[in-house]
Amino acid sequence: MAVTKKDVEYIAELARLKFTDEELEKFTGQLNEILSYVEKLNELDTSNVEPLSHPVEGSNVFREDIVKPSIDREDALRNAPDRNELFFKVPKVIGGE
């Protein structure tokens, strides 16, 4: 299953990244190299092995439903590239949600 330039464009679009034509060519090659390397794993027969969802053992790590003080709003907004007194500001999102 070779990766095409179109696939790379699509993945870049999903990640909101923009690449030059040159970069797209380069990444297409690199992604194909990585995939053919990992392809080696397909030589193993895993038909009787359950898919692994978590690499660590364990389950049921919970907290009780208790409210603890949050951080200060000022601290929350401090790292924002743009803000007003109360809100984060982002470029206008046009259209529906």
Partner 1 sequence: MNEKYEAVIGLEVHAQLLTESKAFCSCSTKFGNVPNSNVCPVCLGHPGVLPVLNKKVVEFITLMGLATNCTINERSVFARKNYFYPDLPKGYQISQYELPVCEHGFVTVTSKDRDKKKVGITRIHMEEDAGKSIHDQAFETLVDVNRCGVPLIEIVSEPDIRSAEEAVQYLTKLRQIVQYLEICDGNMEEGSLRCDANISVRKKGQKEFGTKTEIKNMNSFRNLEKAINFEIERQIEIIEDGGKIIQQTLLWNPDKNEAVPMRSKEEAHDYRYFPEPDLLPVIITESWKKEIAAKLPELPEVRRERFVRDFNLPVYDAEILTLNKGIADYYEDIVKVTKDFKSASNWVMGDVLKIINEEKIDIKDFPIKAENLGELINLINEGTISGKIAKDIFPIMLKEQKSPLEIVKEKNLVQISSSSEIENVIVKILEDHSSEVNTYFEGKEKVFGFFVGQVMKATNGKANPKIVNDILKAKLEKLRN
Stretch that binds partner 1, among 20-28, 31-39, 40-48, 49-57 (CB under 8 A): 49-57
Site membership for partner 1, residue 49 (CB under 8 A): no
> What is the number of alpha carbons within 13 Å of residue 54 lying toward its C-beta?
5
**Residue 32 Cβ, how far from partner 1 at the closest point, in Å?**
20
- Output the six-digit token pair for 95: 């259209």
| Distance (Å, whole) CA 38 – CA 88 | 41
| CB-based contact 35:1 (threshold 8 Å) | yes
**What does the binding site for partner 1 look like in residue numbers (CB under 8 A)?**
14, 16, 53-56, 58-68, 70-71, 73, 76-77, 82, 84, 86-93, 95-97
